[in-house]
Structure 1
């Protein structure tokens, strides 16, 4: 799931510095002449115009902090760059913190920005993705086909990732009827206007759904993106509105609100009802179950959570399988109840930061059910806060607590946490709905009590395990505090 963390927008009044430079200007004019000659075109005088490299670098400085490495950068534009000889996206990857993988999207008109956002959605493992949409208003030659020309040089940068101020629920590009936009793009910005308006929406923390929609008059593309704001801080610092750490009931209320507001989608289509045996799941393309997830990154997963997903016209009924937004599969399941799967019906089960939310007894009961539904040789992978890590942080006074506080703050998960060691130790026990914490020995005990053999339990590293496709579900956000445990169900 992609979140919008921050945005920056700029108008660039001055011409590109390199193009206007007395030494480089003539070289640029000669290059442009040679470039256009095979097409029978002559360049206009090379005055004015903007370089997307300079524009992008300025936007990066506005929206990306030096200590926030970006994993993916996508540059989108429709009007040609005033400096066509440079691989601008590659250049920006060297300017941007993190030296991200870089793409450029062009020749799609209005759709370029939406395509850039879809590319960012296609890389769910990226901690941070940066989408830059730019347009410049000067052409040094005549276009072969008519197209809207901007009235000013403008750019918008959208910093996205696995946390932020609003959830980007969908991005659609097609040739259907136009979709009504709930934001008004400013005049004179045919390619950045919709994103300029979206960036302005970040100033309003009110929970709401925003539809960014546009249509390219030349190519005929109809594009839309649904963005859900869920009551967040306007500067992108907090995904859940701020609370007082000394009053945990405030955090509990806000987390409940966040879960309800976050469990939304555009469309729910019921595709199966229990009981689910191996044949039924196979027909759905399901090989395993990811618990505590509304949508899984695994292509053959059934995602599940106790909080049901809601669409505008439907809500997921407990135990039934739904196709979400025409893609992923979801079922609302309570781990304190028997699971609606036949014995040996799945090959793997994954649960991140789930088992600590129920009592030890309820956790063992759930693990017993998981063992039942796993096929022989099936893999269970669990991640949970590591009690030993917190004990060491308290007793040894090492840097774990300070590093974890910084990580939580950088991820936008609430106001700064108190630096007191006693607070840092207590919060993992008593906040977030936690009921029972585990170290490796306790986890082995619970798995053994559930019928697994403790000899088969293995402690793993982040994104390392018996099944790489399952281990890859581990999220970066929690790897500093997490314990990763796997167990394989024996054949007998």
Structure 2
């Protein structure tokens, strides 16, 4: 059971961001995209297929059968572990105090819980949980929740893990924003230097209400990472570079656009057309000759 609001700590840090709020700072990131996207598949497992058939009957759908059996079948914990491996070892003083998983496509296997895997793999005893049911905006919600826990609990480090997994036992979207074409995961280690300051550069809501704030934040951005939901949105001309997310990656696409990005301020945004909600956030990226790795 989790609280809907982070508990306030009695020992909040004294550092504060600039007037009007602060933004999270990206320390480093790990990216995982399996090379063999088609995958070897698996031998049929009658006991698992029976569970899928039973669930399909309850919800009036069908099991994909051989199409699912011969899919890559990389469960979410495996993809999240790949992103953690790419992130690299964390020293105790680098470890996040809260780690949040974000995804759009549900997992097909539940023998291992990804949040439990994260807690097992990370140093210390971070608070770990998942955010879903937010469409393609799940990572934006997850980041805001993680920052609120950090802001209220005297924490300074957080981890955002974003996963897209393509194997599903039931029919899913074949096109559009929710369609997943390949397995992908990203792990972003962030610092919160704002103390008790409010988080800045974020927003979420109906597009007509959220767009003015997004445009204002883009005026100060060196990079704009745009999700596929913003491909046809007019009037989004950032002062810096624009990178568009690759289609077929509902959750990870916009975040993967940060890979190799130059240091400075970046704005990420996407518009979930089905939910009619637009979300954006602002990050400070590390400087260096290789950019974000």
TM-score interval w.r.t. the shorter chain?
0.5 to 0.7
2:267 counterpart SS class: strand
Shift, 1:63, TM fit = 1.1
The residue number in structure 1 matching 2:87 is: 63
Structure 1 spans left out of the alignment, 5+ residues: 238-492
Corresponding residue for 1:3? 25
Cα distance, 1:229 vs. partner?
4.2
- Alignment correspondent of 1:135: 164
2:51 is aligned, of 28, 31, 34, to: 31
Partner in structure 2 of residue 82 of structure 1: 108
Taking structure 1 as the reference length, the TM-score comes to: 0.41
Which position in structure 1 is the counterpart of 2:190?
160
Query: In structure 2, how many angstroms separate the alpha carbons of the residues matched to 1:210 and 1:189?
Result: 20
Structure 2: runs of 5+ lacking an equivalent: 1-21, 194-198, 215-235
CA contact (8 A) 1:16 1:51 kept: no
Distance 1:59 1:144 in 2: 25
Q: Is the 8 A contact 1:183 1:210 kept in 2?
A: no
Question: Greater shift after overlay, 141-150 or 191-200?
Answer: 141-150
Offset, 1:192: 1.2
Does structure 1 retain, via aligned residues, the 8 Å contact 2:27–2:285? no
Give 1:132 deviation, angstroms. Answer: 0.7
**Secondary structure in 1 aligned to 2:28?**
strand
Alignment of 1:194-343 (within 5 A): 194-201=254-261, 204-205=262-263, 208-229=264-285, 231=287, 234=290
SS of 1:80's equivalent in the other structure is coil
What is the alpha-carbon distance in structure 2 between the residues aligned to residue 188 and residue 15 of structure 1? Answer: 13
**CA 72–87 in structure 1, closer or farther in 2 if over 3 Å, else same:** same
Number of aligned positions between the proteins: 227
Q: Alpha-carbon deviation of 1:55?
A: 0.5
Q: Flag the 1:217–1:38 CA change in 2: closer, same or farther, 3 A.
A: same
1:176 — aligned with what?
Answer: 207
Q: Hey, what does 2:146 align to over in structure 1? A: 120
Bigger Rg, which one: 1
Per-residue CA deviation, residues 48-80 of structure 1 (Å, 9 max, x unaligned), is 232110010111122142424321110000012
Give CA deviations for 1:387-443 in whole Å, capped at 9, x if unaligned.
xxxxxxxxxxxxxxxxxxxxxxxxxxxxxxxxxxxxxxxxxxxxxxxxxxxxxxxxx
Q: For 2:182, what is the secondary structure of its paired residue?
A: coil
CA RMSD of aligned residues (A): 3.1
Query: Relative contact order, CA 8 A, sep 6+: which one is greater?
Result: 2
State the alpha-carbon separation in 1 of the partners of residues 52 and 290 from structure 2: 44
The 8 Å contact of residues 25 and 192 in structure 2, kept in 1 or not, is answered as: yes
- CA distance 1:51–1:99, change in 2 (3 Å): farther
